[in-house]
């Protein structure tokens, strides 16, 4: 899944021959899962048609403040468009347009939109070799960088004039790759390894029966997705569940029993930066599981149980530089029990939820949590979808790790 998936991308096209490549660029943005809108200068319309770009983007293409052919048309709001965008890309960016951008000139719709944008702006220069090498172009690029714009380096190759050298607009696939890499590297968890556990564990009574619980695994899966969106390298160790992450950046290890989850997490933990144990691990398992299916009899059946290994306590004991977060699902004395677990197991934080809260607990798409840190400061949240809860948890973690 691309980091651009679900994002709003505003593509600005200025009047250079490289504008013909923007049809491919729009297609690549759409393929990455982004919503694309296009603005272009009047000169750009000579190199690529608005009809082509609107068909590809499935949005109207704008190049002026009003529709001159419709006296009753409302004006095109450049401010609203600039605020809509998560990212703005100006490609190709001619020397003329970049000079205007550097000096705050706003004599067309594209430039007015650029000046209104509050999002990161990526600029892909395109011009002839001598223009690109001119000192004024270098000064313009330095000013644009100083303003916080991101310059996508021009490529080396054959130019429209027949010369060979720098100044060629980066190829569409290279623009997308540059943006993805730049965005990922700027994410708060880039370079961090995050370990998440999710779901129930099943402890075998015999080959067909088990002791388990009602955990769906949703909370852990949402935590894994949130971590991946924040740029982390994510490993998700999950008990039996029908869920999937739908993200190739999340490595999933599927286990059945508490013992298997203990082994997997113990192996991964030393190389982990953040570990969040959201799984509902069985506290007990049958001491002597049967090799064959136990046949039903009239007499009652007694199954001797023994404790499973305490994964959270083991990781708390082994913890060095890791930030370790546990979960506490309680039915009474919630805060007292959660704080006790936080201290006993040497955690950096614990996430408390209660079965007494409507909409929280197993099998729900929502959750209501209280985040308690190492100093036992408690921050409570309202009932929310688990995807939003996952984001809240990482916001609290990042606040304390920064």
Question: Which residues are marked as active site?
Answer: 213
Report the SS3 class of residue 248. Answer: coil
φ/ψ of residue 398, rounded to 5: -65, -35
> If you write DSSP's letter for every residue of 95-111 in order, what string do you get?
HHHHHHHHTT---SHHH
Under 8 Å CB-to-CB from 235, ≥6 apart: which residues? 193, 194, 195, 196, 250, 251, 252, 253, 268
Burial class of residue 382, CB neighbours in 10 A (0-12, 13-18, 19+): exposed
**Closest listed residue to residue 289, CA positions, set 300, 308, 311, 305:** 305
Q: Distance between CA 251 and CA 234 in Å, rounded?
A: 6
Q: Distance between CA 140 and CA 154 in Å, rounded?
A: 14
Report the SS3 class of residue 187. Answer: coil
Q: Are the beta carbons of 199 and 237 closer than 8 angstroms?
A: no
Under 8 Å CB-to-CB from 248, ≥6 apart: which residues? 1
φ/ψ of residue 245, rounded to 5: -85, -25
Q: Distance between CA 66 and CA 68 in Å, rounded?
A: 6
Q: Within 13 Å and on the Cβ side, how many CA atoms surround 271?
A: 8
């Amino acid at each position: 899944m691309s980091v651009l998936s679900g994002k709003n991308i505003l593509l600005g096209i200025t009047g250079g021959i490289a504008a013909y490549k923007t049809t491919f660029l729009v297609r690549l943005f759409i393929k990455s899962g982004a919503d694309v809108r296009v603005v272009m200068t009047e000169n750009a319309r000579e190199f690529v048609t608005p009809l082509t770009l609107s068909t590809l983007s499935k949005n109207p293409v704008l190049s002026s403040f009003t529709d001159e052919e419709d006296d009753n048309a409302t004006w095109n709001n450049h401010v609203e468009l600039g605020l809509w965008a998560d990212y703005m890309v100006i490609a190709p960016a001619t020397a003329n347009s970049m000079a205007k951008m550097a000096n705050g000139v706003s004599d067309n719709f594209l430039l007015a939109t650029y000046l209104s944008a509050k999002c990161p702006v990526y600029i892909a220069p395109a011009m002839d070799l001598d223009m690109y090498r001119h000192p004024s172009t270098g000064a313009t690029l330095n000013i644009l960088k100083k303003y916080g714009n991101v310059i996508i380096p021009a490529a080396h190759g054959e130019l429209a004039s027949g010369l060979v050298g720098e100044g060629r607009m980066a190829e569409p696939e290279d623009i997308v790759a540059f943006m993805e890499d730049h965005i990922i590297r700027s994410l708060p968890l880039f370079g961090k390894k995050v370990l998440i556990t999710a779901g129930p564990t099943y402890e075998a009574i015999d080959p067909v029966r088990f002791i388990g619980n009602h955990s769906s695994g949703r909370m852990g899966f949402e935590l894994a997705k949130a971590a991946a969106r924040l740029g982390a390298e994510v490993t998700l160790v999950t008990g039996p569940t029908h869920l999937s992450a739908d993200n190739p950046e999340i490595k999933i290890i599927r286990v059945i029993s508490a013992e298997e989850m203990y082994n997997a997490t113990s192996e991964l933990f030393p190389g982990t930066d953040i570990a969040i144990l959201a799984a509902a691990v069985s506290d007990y398992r049958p001491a002597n599981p049967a090799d064959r299916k136990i046949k039903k009899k009239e007499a009652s059946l007694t199954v001797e149980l023994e404790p499973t290994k305490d994964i959270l306590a083991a990781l708390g004991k082994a913890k060095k530089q890791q930030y370790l977060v546990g979960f506490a699902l309680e039915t009474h004395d919630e805060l007292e029990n959660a704080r006790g677990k936080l201290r006993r197991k040497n955690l950096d934080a614990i996430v408390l939820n209660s079965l007494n809260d409507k909409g929280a607990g197993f099998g729900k798409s929502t959750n209501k949590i209280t985040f308690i840190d190492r100093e036992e400061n408690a921050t409570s949240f309202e009932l929310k979808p688990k995807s939003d809860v996952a984001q809240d948890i990482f916001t609290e973690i990042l606040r304390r790790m920064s």
